[in-house]
Every structure is written in structure tokens, then in C-alpha cells.
Amino acid sequence: MNQIQCFLNDAEQRTEESSVNNWLGELKDAMYEADDIIDLARCDGSKLLADHPSLSRNSAACTCFSFLSCLPNIRRRHEIAVRIRNFNNKLDKISKLGERFLKLQNLQPKEEVSATRKMKTCELVEPNLVGKETSRACTRLVELVLSHMEKKVYKIGIVGTGGVGKTALAQKIYNDYKIKGIFSKQAWIRVSQEYSEDSLLKEVLRNIGVDYKQDETVGELSRKLATAVENKSFFLVLDDVWQHGVWTNLLRTPFDTAATGIILVTTRNDTVARAIGVEDMHRVELMSDDVGWELLWKSMSINEEIEVLNLRGVGMEIVRMCGGLPLAIKVIASVLATKEKTENQWRKVMKKSAWSMSNVPTELRGALYLSYDELPRYLKQCFLYCALYPEDWSMYRDDLVRSWVAEGFVEKQEEQLLEDTAEEYYYELIHRNLLQPDPTYFDFRICKMHDLLRQLAQHLSQDEYFCGEPQSLEAKSLSRLRRISVVTDKDSIMLSIVGKEHIRARTLHVCSMKSPRVENTVFKLFPCIRVLDLTSSAIQNIPDCIGTLAFYGYLILMGLT
């Protein structure tokens, strides 16, 4: 295993080669098989000791109970022994294949520098806005809101490419002290590429403090919203809008009952903004070299430029490699923060092959992929795990912590609980700008993932992870699928995949705003389950078949009806 780990370090740098990728796939399958065998042995061993507490490895095999009762245990032990032997043979073949045919080199693991922060808060609560242009844009748009707040409806658009800072600018405006408290109703709604009408209406109602029932229809929710804003003033932010229908077909009618209102829309598409009818459009441009350099050193938690002034030249080059994209600059800053502040070390980062990975989609190459490639081994799995959640989904720290522990991602630290170590992983991902904390909670217990980083995680885990409608799962190859997140707006969940390959998934999430019913037959399809998250479901009782799932280590049953 130590030798394979050294080959793995070389293989991860050659993922553009299809033969190496196939080797990595076989190795992953073998590791999951090893995991299954260990869990099976542990589970069966504990059952045997529970039934026969006097039995120990030093005692005769059948001295404490009848020979006939011993036979099933002998048979079971033999089955496990055969699996271990077959696994060892398979692992030996994989090792030889990597060394002899793929010419993988025996590279020692790179030193892993942890940026773990044991603190429960982060220095950066508000968006890290830099540059005079950004400051002027924020001031202008705030004044625009104030000067048109008496109009029936005034619509403002913020447009620009993904990761350029549209949401950060909108947050700054939304939280400006001049605006806070001057509108009767104020709501921030993240729309995203795919949304359900009832879920979005419920989110608006929740934002403005109006109660609703889970089973209310779109029409009922719309009328409730119209009543709530009638003859009042409102300020509504629609963030990351991809289709104009979210306003023109869904929200325009209920908000028409309001006396006055401001709509602030962020979108990548000018056409969408114009279809909504924005009267003032602000374009967020890519950062200039000077502004990008300022964002770079500030994102490294450096207080004064003088500390890295000698690195300004190489820093400017890195900013240009990031294409002036704020998200890319921030994640590469987190990589640089783990290195020595020398030109030699920064140039080593610039020469990394990860900048030009051709098998990664264009928008995810460069700094975004490098930020993943530079993660310590223990953090890579935790980052990829977040791809299980739908776009813009609020992820809870405690749920992630317990899931990572149950999945076996967390390395044991001396005199420290696994949960405490996993919590440090969570804050390290935030510190590296790979997770975005919700600043309304002082300890950042809730976070989200930027859609570009989520796309990266999905791309890197596409064979092993699934997040989507249950019917789409039927078209997937299940042999390598390890983690499944069912996202639905239906009233019930059923999986029609009987007769397909054996499902070896470790995790099953139910993500929905509707609390769907989960058919009992679903659970029988996942014999290797470890993490079963039914938070969003309307399951009324625990099926008996769950008791036969030998491996589950974490069972979330919050919100039971």
C-alpha cells in the first residue's frame, strides 16, 4: 500500500493519459473493496463476540457452543478469507501494472502544509471588495436605489461573467447601512440555473417573515406573497438569474400589489437583464492588474502591501494568469498562503502543470483546478463531497462533519476526536476560499459553494457522484457510483433500477423543499450505505430493512413527520 501511494502521487500528475485514468479507476475500486471487507469483518466479528462473549482468538473454535452452531461462522469466515485473498491478488496486479507498464514513478508524497484555522470565525465577513472602481460602483448603485425608492418598481441589473464578483457587489449594496431598514420588506433570493416555482416562492416568503405550509400550491403561495407586500415598499435581490421568467412569469404579479419597490438582478446574460426590463445596467469588468494584485495580497490575510512589496512583479504575472477573475485570484491566493513568501516559491506555483490541464473544461482550468490540486490529500475528498449538494444549497457544518467521519475521510489525530478534526477541515476549506460561509452566523456554521467550484467538484467526481432527479439515475452506470443525492420536487421518491449492477453507494441524500415520501424499497437497494440523510424527506417511520444495513455510521432523521 505504501508503494501504491507513491505511484499514486505520480499518477495524479498524469491524469490526461487515458491509461493512467483507467489505472486510477481500478485502484479506487480496489480501495472501496478493501473498505467493504474491513467493515464486513468488523461487523461479523462484533456479532460473533456478542453471541458468544467467552470466545477469543486464543480459545478453541467450538469449545463454548455446539459444532452445528459453529458451522455458519466457519462458512462466513471462509467467505471473508476468500475475499481478502482475491483482493490481495488484485492489488498486486494493480501495483505491477502501474510500475511495469505505465512506468509510474515512485514519488514520495509532497509535503502537506495545513492552513487549518481552529478559530470558529474568519477575518473576512463582508465581500473582499478592492479597487476604486468597485468602491465607486457600489456608491453609485446605492445612490441609485435611494433616488428611485419612491417609484412603483425600479429595476437595476448587474451583469458579468461567472466568478467576476457580481454577487459580492450585490451583497455590499444589500447590506449598506443607508439601505438597511428603509424598506418594509427586504429579501435576498438566489435563483440559480434550475429552480422550482414553489420552492422559490417559499424562499421569498421566508425572507420577509411570512409563514407557509409545505403542501401549498404555487397559486396559494403567490396570493400569500401578494397579501404580504400589499401597499408596502420592498427591496428584492434576485441573484444569479438565468431565465427572465422568474420575474416576468412568477414574481411580477404578486409584487404588483406593493406600493413601491426596487429589484436588483445579477446575471451573466445581458439578454436576460433586458427581458426583465432593467432600467440601469452595471457591467462588472475583469480586474486590472493593480486591483487584482491588491485582491491577491489582501486575500492572503496580509495587512500591509509592504510585507510582499518585493513580490509585486511576480504577483502581477499571477493575476494575469488568472485572467483578472476575482474568484480565481482568491483561490490562488489561498494556495500562495501555504508557501514561503519568496519569488522562487511563487514561480514554482506558476510552473505547475495544473495550470494547463486539457481534460478539464476551459472555464475550470488554471487557478480553479490548481486550488484543488494543491489541497492536502485529506481535504480533497471533503471538497468533492460538497458536489453532492444542489447548486446554492445551504450546507450545515455539523452535517458535513459527521458525514466526513462516517465516510472515513478524517485522519486520526493524537488526543483529538475525529469530529473535532473534521471541523478543522471545514474551516480550512473556508479559509482556502473553496466554501463560502454565511456571514449572518458568527461561527460560520452554514456555507455554500460557488457554482464554478461546484462544477469543478462535479467534473472531478463524475463517475462516483450523482446529484439530480431520480429518473436520471436510471441512465447512469452504477458500478462505480459511490454517493447519490436525489433532488426532486415530486411528492415521492422511487428508484426503478432493479436488475442493474450491484449498487455500492456509501451515501444517500434526499434534497428537496417539498418533504417527499421515500418508498421503503429504496433502502434495500443500498446494502453498503454509511450516510443516510433523510432531513428533507417526509418519512414517517423507520423501515425495518434499515436495521439490516450493516455499514451505516451516520443516520440523519431530523424533521420526521
Digit-coded pLDDT (tens) for 184-205: 999 999 887 878 888 899 989 9
User: Going along 444-489, which residue ranges are E strands?
Assistant: 446-448, 465-468, 483-487
- Least Cα distance to 190 among 123, 142, 232, 238 occurs for 238
Instruction: Give the pLDDT band (50/70/90) at residue 67.
Output: very low
Maximum mean pLDDT: which of 50-54, 500-504, 552-556: 500-504
- Is the CB of residue 142 less than 8 Å from the CB of residue 262? no
Mean pLDDT of 295-318: 91
Q: What is the b/e burial string over 40-52, where b = at least 16 CB atoms within 10 angstroms of the residue's CB?
A: bbeebeeeeeeeb
Share above pLDDT 70 across residues of the chain, in percent, rounded to a whole number: 73
Maximum mean pLDDT: which of 119-123, 376-380, 498-502: 376-380
- Is the CB of residue 561 less than 8 Å from the CB of residue 538? yes
- Least Cα distance to 192 among 455, 445, 388 occurs for 455
Q: How many CB atoms lie within 10 A of CB 24?
A: 18
- Is the CB of residue 15 less than 8 Å from the CB of residue 24? yes
- Is the CB of residue 512 less than 8 Å from the CB of residue 491? no
Task: State the pLDDT at residue 157.
Answer: 96
> Out of 228-232, 352-356, 387-391, which region has the weakest mean confidence (pLDDT)?
352-356
Task: State the pLDDT at residue 123.
Answer: 41
The set of cell numbers assigned to 394 is 445551504
CA dist., res. 158 & res. 282, Å (int): 5
* CATH class name, domain 132-283: alpha beta
Amino acid type, 100: R
Task: State the pLDDT at residue 238.
Answer: 95
Torsional sign, CA 113, 119, 125, 131: negative
Top pLDDT among 320 and 468 is at: 320
Q: How many CB atoms lie within 10 A of CB 470?
A: 21
430-446, pLDDT tens digit by residue?
A: 999 999 988 778 888 99
CA dist., res. 275 & res. 261, Å (int): 18
Mean pLDDT of 308-314: 93
First to last CA, the chain: 47
The set of cell numbers assigned to 507 is 451515501
Angle at 253 between CA 250 and CA 256, to 5 degrees: 140
Mean pLDDT of 454-460: 91
Task: Please write down the HEC assignment for all residues of 72-138.
Answer: HHHHHHHHHHHHHHHHHHHHHHHHHHHHHHCCCCCCCCCCCCCCCCCCCCCCCCCCCCCCHHHHHHH
List the 436-437 sheet strands across, edge first: 395-396, 446-448, 436-437
Instruction: Give the pLDDT band (50/70/90) at residue 554.
Output: low
List the beta bridge partners of residue 465: 483
241-299, pLDDT tens digit by residue?
A: 999 999 999 999 999 999 999 999 999 999 999 999 999 999 998 888 998 999 999 99
The set of cell numbers assigned to 347 is 514561480
- Least Cα distance to 410 among 374, 371, 443, 377 occurs for 377
